[in-house]
Amino acid sequence: MDVILFLVFAIIAVVCAINVVVQNHPISSAISLVGVMGSLAILYLLLGAEFIAAAQVIVYAGAIMVLFVFVIMLLNAGAETRKGRSLMVQAVGVPLAIALLGSLAFFVQRLYPRDMVHFGGFQGGSALAVGRALFTTYLLPFEITSILVLIAIVGAIVLARKELD
């Protein structure tokens, strides 16, 4: 049953991720990103990391997506206009994408062992383990990420104010 649930939510995550890139309207892309984040939270639940799954839903699918939608609304971003694609891009793009995915699959299969994932066997997803790792080992990347988010918000406000003037 765990394998079936894993495959279902993995497929949902991949389809929503493709939809993020394909959509014309930024709000539709943001909603598809919520689908990716929700699917990832369920995949974390299947692995036994309940705290990480809850943090995924609260922080990413909740707070970060509200921030993304706020910035999109602040910038007044409309739907993208599609430009005409060249014939060469249409003819060569799909085979090159398949070759890229095939080579990535080959290298991932060669570099990593074939140990099976044991659903529910992950023990590092508790609040204590995540908190210790976040504020000891990963303190610098955590702070850099918070500064980058702050810079993005300030940049969006500056860009929106230039449009108003």
46 in any annotated domain = yes
Record the pTM: 0.62
For residue 28, give the nearest of 97, 74, 78 by alpha carbon.
78
Does the residue 120 lie in any domain?
no
Asked if the structure places residue 10 within a domain, the reply is: yes
Which stretch, 63-72, 80-89, 127-136, has highest mean pLDDT?
Answer: 127-136
> Is residue 144 in a domain?
no
Tokens representing 135? 């504020």
**23 domain-assigned:** yes
- Is the alpha carbon torsion for 1, 35, 12, 54 positive or negative? negative
Domain containing residue 38: CATH number: 1.20.120.1200
**Mind listing the pLDDT tens digit for each residue in 3-57?**
899 999 999 999 999 999 888 888 888 889 899 999 999 998 888 888 888 888 8
* More reliable by pLDDT, 143 or 89: 143
Residue 139 confidence (pLDDT): 93
Inside any domain, residue 151: no
For the chain, report the end-to-end CA distance as a whole number of angstroms: 58
Higher pLDDT, 98 or 60: 98
Q: What is the DSSP string of 18-54?
A: HHHHH-SSHHHHHHHHHHHHHHHHHHHHHHT-HHHHH
Q: Does residue 162 lie within any of the structural domains?
A: no
pLDDT bucket at 152, cuts 50 / 70 / 90: confident
Specify the pLDDT at position 129.
82
- Domain span at residue 74 reads 1-79
pLDDT digits (tens, 9 = 90+) for 119-145: 666 666 677 888 888 889 999 998 999
The burial class, CB within 10 Å (0-12 / 13-18 / 19+), for 90 is exposed
Q: Could you give the number of structural domains in the chain?
A: 1
pLDDT at residue 22, as a whole number: 87
48 domain-assigned: yes
User: What are the structure tokens assigned to 102, written together?
Assistant: 């095939």
